[in-house]
Amino acid sequence: MPNGNGTIINMQGIHKVYDTGKVKVDALKGIDLKIQRGTFAAIIGPSGSGKSTLMNILGCLDVPTDGVYEFNGERVDGLHHNRLAEIRNEQVGFVFQNFNLLPYATALENVELPLIFKGVPTKKRRERAVELLEKVGLGERVSHLAIELSGGEMQRVSIARALANNPSLILADEPTGNLDTKSGRAIIELFEELWQKGHTILIITHDPNIPQRTERVIHIKDGQLTENGNGAH
Amino acid sequence: MASVTFLSQMFRDMRSQKLRTLLTMFGIIWGTSAVILLLSFGEGIHMNQRKSVHGLGEYIVIMWGGRTSQDFQGLPRNREIRFKEEDAALLQTVPHMKAVSAEYGQGGVKARVGKVDKLVRISACWPVFAEIRNLIPQEGSRFINDEDMKYRRRVVFLGTELAEELFPGQDAVGQYIHLNGVPFQVIGVMKQKEQDSSYNSRDTRMTFIPSTTFKTMFGREYLNNIVFKADEPKNVPQVISGVYEALGAKYKFAPDDKEALSMWDTSEMETFFNAFFGGFRIFLGVIGAFTLIVGGIGISNIMNVVVEERTKEIGIKMALGAKKRFVRTQFVLETLLLVTIGGLIGFLFSYAVISLFPLLHFEEYVGIPRMSFSVSVAAISILGLIGLVAGYFPARRASDLNPVEALRL
C-alpha cells in the first residue's frame, strides 16, 4: 500500500465518442494521465467537461473509444465484460454522490455486496462487513436499513462498501455533493485518514474545498486535462 | 450463501409490493388450478364411465343366433342358426378363449315371498357367468357352483335391488322365494355395481339360477345366447373368428358369413371410449395449459416492469462487480420462485377442491376427480417451463443493461 511507487493508472490518448446516431459527441479528446500508487488527487472541472465520462472509464464501468488504458499494469481497454466486472469488484471501490445503496437492504447487506460477488463465504463476509462498518464509525448501525440512515451515514456505508475487497483505487464522484457542510467535512477527513493508511484515492468534484486538501489537482475542461496541482507528477 | 441474502431481499421486495406480487401470482395460481382440476375431473369422468361399462363385464362378447346369408356346401342361405348348451362347451376349445357361459332367459316369471308378488326375469347360466359378467357376491353369499349344476339344485342368486325389495331390511341368504310356484333357496346377493348398458334387463333386477335346473323346469332346448371372454382385450377379434370357424364347421355356414351369428363386442365400446376420453383429456389439458401460459405471460410482463423499476439496483450491482450471468440468474430465480409459490398455492387449492368434491355427492354423474401422478407431472413440467421462459427474457434484458446508463437513473 504505501509503497508510494508504481503506476496504478496509465492513460494514453484516451478518446470517448458518444454516437447518438445523429450527432457525435467527443466527451474525451485525448487524455493522457498517469497516477502513482498512494496518491490523493482531485479531478475538478465544470459540468459537461467530461468528468463523469473520465471517471467511468477510470473505474472500468465504461470502455474508451480509442487510446490505451493500463490499470494496475493490465490493459483494460477492450476487455471482456466479465473481466471488467472482476476488476471493478476487486480493484476499484466506488463512492457516489447519491450513495447508490440498496435502500431496502441493511447497512451490513450493502457492505456485503462486493464480497458476495467475489464469492466470500457467509461467515467471513459478515465479519468483514461488520469490521468495515466499525472502521467508518457505524458499528451501531449495522442492521439499519439504508433508508433509515442520514446522508452522512449513508456515505459512510458506501465508503465501507468501497473498501470491502481492499481495492487498489478508491474512486469518489462528488462524495460530498449531497451532504451538509459538517458531514461533508467528516467524509473528507475519512478519506484523508484512508489515504494516510496507504489507499489511492481519486475524488471528482467541483467542491472548491476539496482540492485544497489533496496532494494533486487535475483540471478537466472540454474533454482535455490541464494540471496545476501541488505534488504534481 | 449469496443466494440466501438475495432470497431475503426478494421476500422483502415481495412484501413491500404485496398487491403486485399477489396479482402476478394469481395468473399462475389460476392456471395451475385449471390444469390440475380439468385433468383430474377428466380422469374422474373417464374412470366413472369405465366402471359403468365394466358393469356388464370387461371386453366380453354376447352372441345370439342369426341367419345364414350365403349358400354353403350345397345348403341354401337363410337358414336359422340356434345354439344348444353343448355349443358353449365346444367354444371353450377356441384359442385364447378365457371363459364361456351358456345363458337361457325367461321373462315374466312370478316371484313370490310371503305375500309379495313380483314379475322378474330369470337368467340361467353356468358358474363362470359371474366372472364374465362381473357379478360379485356380497359377503357371506355365493354364486352358483358346480354342485348346484350337477344336482340341478333349486338355488337362486339375486340382483341387489331385487333382493332389497323382496327382503327389505333382512338378509336374503338362506331364505326361500317361489319362482312360478317352485321354491328356490337364495344362495347369494349381488354386490352393488354401476352398469350403464345391458341386454334384457339390468343385473340388479335379475334372478340367476343354474342352467341345468332351468332346463328341467322349462324344458327349453335352445339357448338365448352365449357370453364369452378372451384372455386379453387384444385377442378379442381372433377369438371371434375362432368362434365363427368352430360354429361354422358344426352348423355348416361359411366362416366369413357374418350374418350367421349376431354378436355384441363390448370391447369395441371400450376402444371407442378410450379414444374419446384420450381426445377429451388432450382438449382439457390444452385449455388448462393455455390458461397457464397466459398466467406466464402475465408474470413475464410483471418481471419486465420489475427490471425497469430495479434498473438502478442492477446498475449498482454491476458497478460493484456483479457479472451479467449473476444478474440474469437472479431474475430467472426470482421468476421461478414466484411461479413455484403460485403453483404451490394452485396445487393446494386444487387438492382442497378435489378432496372436498366427493362431499357434494355428484359422483354418479361425473365420478370422483383424481389427481393422478401423471396429472401432477404434467402440471409441474408446464409450470417449470413457463417459469423459465417467463423469467428468461426479462432477465436477459436486465443483464444487458449498460451499467453507466443504469446508474444514471
Report the pLDDT value the prediction gives residue B373, as an integer from 0 to 100. 81
Query: Residue A74 corresponds to which amino acid?
Result: E
CB contact under 8 A, A88 and B320: yes
CB contact under 8 A, A113 and B318: no
Phi/psi of residue B130, nearest 5 degrees: -60, -40
Contact criterion met (CB below 8 Å) for A150 and A181 = no
CB contact under 8 A, A100 and B312: yes
The alpha carbon of residue B343 is apart from the nearest alpha carbon of chain A, in Å, by: 27
Please name which of B389, B375, B385 lies closest in space to residue B35, comparing C-alpha atoms. B375
Does residue B329 belong to the interface with chain A, where contact is any CB pair within 8 Å?
no
User: Is the pLDDT reported for residue B120 higher than 60?
Assistant: yes
Report the pLDDT value the prediction gives residue A3, as an integer from 0 to 100. 44
Sheet holding A92-95, edge to edge: A92-95, A169-173, A201-205, A40-44, A216-221, A224-227
| Pair type for strands B182-189 and B155-158 | parallel
In angstroms, the CA B282 to CA B366 distance is 18
Let me know if residue A2 belongs to a domain: no
Among A157-166, B41-50, B259-268, top mean pLDDT goes to A157-166
User: Is the pLDDT reported for residue A195 higher than 50?
Assistant: yes
Task: Name beta bridge partners: A18.
Answer: A25
Residues in chain B: 409
In angstroms, the CA A54 to CA A62 distance is 9
User: Is the pLDDT reported for residue A52 higher than 90?
Assistant: no
Mean pLDDT of A91-114: 92
User: Is the pLDDT reported for residue A47 higher than 90?
Assistant: no
Report the pLDDT value the prediction gives residue A70, as an integer from 0 to 100. 94
Task: Name beta bridge partners: A11.
Answer: A33, A69
User: Cα angle vertex B203, ends B198, B204, to 5°?
Assistant: 130
| Stretch 219-258 of chain B: residues touching chain A, C-beta under 8 Å | none
In angstroms, the CA A224 to CA A219 distance is 8
Let me know if residue A233 belongs to a domain: no
**Structural domain of residue A211, as residue ranges?**
7-227
Does residue B317 belong to the interface with chain A, where contact is any CB pair within 8 Å?
yes
Inter-CA distances, B65 with B22, B84, B248, B260, Å = 68, 10, 12, 7
Residues in chain A: 233
Q: Which residues, at least 6 apart from B142, have a Cβ–Cβ distance to it below 8 Å?
A: B157, B187, B188
The interface pTM score, or ipTM, of the predicted complex is 0.90
Please name which of B211, B240, B206 lies closest in space to residue B223, comparing C-alpha atoms. B211
Among A22-31, A153-162, B261-270, top mean pLDDT goes to A153-162
User: Is the pLDDT reported for residue A35 higher than 90?
Assistant: yes
Chain B contact probe: residue of A52, A101, A116 with most B CBs at under 10 A = A116
Looking at chain A, the whole-number percentage of residues with pLDDT higher than 90 is: 65
B173: left (phi over 0), alpha (psi -120 to 50) or beta: beta
pLDDT per position as a tens digit, B134-187: 888 998 899 999 999 999 999 999 999 999 999 998 899 999 999 999 999 999
The alpha carbon of residue A81 is apart from the nearest alpha carbon of chain B, in Å, by: 8
Looking at chain B, the whole-number percentage of residues with pLDDT higher than 70 is: 96
User: Is the pLDDT reported for residue A23 higher than 80?
Assistant: yes
In angstroms, the CA B26 to CA B236 distance is 50
In angstroms, the CA B139 to CA A83 distance is 79
Mean pLDDT of B109-120: 90
Report the pLDDT value the prediction gives residue A2, as an integer from 0 to 100. 41
Residues of B within 8 A of A82 (CB-CB) are 323-325
Confidence of residue B4 (pLDDT cuts 50, 70, 90): low
Contact criterion met (CB below 8 Å) for B227 and B198 = no
Residue of chain A minimizing CA distance to B321? A89
Report the pLDDT value the prediction gives residue B3, as an integer from 0 to 100. 58
Mean pLDDT of A146-167: 93
Phi/psi of residue B272, nearest 5 degrees: -60, -50
The alpha carbon of residue B318 is apart from the nearest alpha carbon of chain A, in Å, by: 7
pLDDT per position as a tens digit, B338-359: 888 889 999 999 999 988 888 8
| Pair type for strands A169-173 and A24-36 | unpaired
Confidence of residue B90 (pLDDT cuts 50, 70, 90): very high
User: Is the pLDDT reported for residue A231 higher than 80?
Assistant: no
Let me know if residue A232 belongs to a domain: no
Among A208-212, B282-286, B391-395, top mean pLDDT goes to B391-395
| Pair type for strands B97-113 and B176-179 | antiparallel
Residues of B within 8 A of A81 (CB-CB) are 323-324
Report the pLDDT value the prediction gives residue B9, as an integer from 0 to 100. 67
CB contact under 8 A, A119 and B13: no
Phi/psi of residue B161, nearest 5 degrees: -65, -40
Choose among B16, B324, B407: nearest Cβ to A100. B407
How many A×B Cβ pairs under 8 Å? Answer: 72
CB contact under 8 A, A104 and B4: no
CB contact under 8 A, B321 and A100: no
CB contact under 8 A, A102 and B5: no
User: Is the pLDDT reported for residue B394 higher than 60?
Assistant: yes
Report the pLDDT value the prediction gives residue A17, as an integer from 0 to 100. 92
**In Å, how far from its chain's centre is CA B376?**
18
Confidence of residue A68 (pLDDT cuts 50, 70, 90): very high
User: Is the pLDDT reported for residue B51 higher than 80?
Assistant: no
Number of structural domains in chain A: 1
Lowest mean per-residue pLDDT among B264-278, B336-350, B360-374:
B360-374
Residues of B within 8 A of A112 (CB-CB) are 5
Let me know if residue A102 belongs to a domain: yes
Contact criterion met (CB below 8 Å) for B141 and B149 = no
Q: Which residues, at least 6 apart from B70, have a Cβ–Cβ distance to it below 8 Å?
A: B77, B253, B254, B257
Report the pLDDT value the prediction gives residue B182, as an integer from 0 to 100. 93
Show the 3-state SS of chain B.
Answer: CHHHHHHHHHHHHHHHCHHHHHHHHHHHHHHHHHHHHHHHHHHHHHHHHHHHHCCCCCCEEEEEECECCCCECCECCCCECCCCHHHHHHHCCCCCEEEEEEEEEEEEEEEEECCEEEEEEEEEECCCHHHHCCCCECCCCCCCCHHHHHCCCCEEEECHHHHHHHCCCCCCCCCEEEECCEEEEEEEEECCCCCCCCCCCCHHHEEEEEHHHHHHHHCCCCCCEEEEEECCHHHHHHHHHHHHHHHHHHHCCCCCCHHHEEEEEHHHHHHHHHHHHHHHHHHHHHHHHHHHHHHHHHHHHHHHHHHHHCHHHHHHHHHCCCCHHHHHHHHHHHHHHHHHHHHHHHHHHHHHHHHHHHHHCCHHHHCCCCCCHHHHHHHHHHHHHHHHHHHHHHHHHHHCCCHHHHHHC
Report the pLDDT value the prediction gives residue A228, as an integer from 0 to 100. 57
Query: Residue A193 corresponds to which amino acid?
Result: E
Task: Please compute, for residue A163, the number of CA atoms within 13 A of its CA located in the half-sphere on the CB side.
Answer: 25
In angstroms, the CA B177 to CA B119 distance is 12
Let me know if residue A169 belongs to a domain: yes
CATH of the domain at A205: 3.40.50.300
Report the pLDDT value the prediction gives residue A4, as an integer from 0 to 100. 46
Report the pLDDT value the prediction gives residue A5, as an integer from 0 to 100. 60
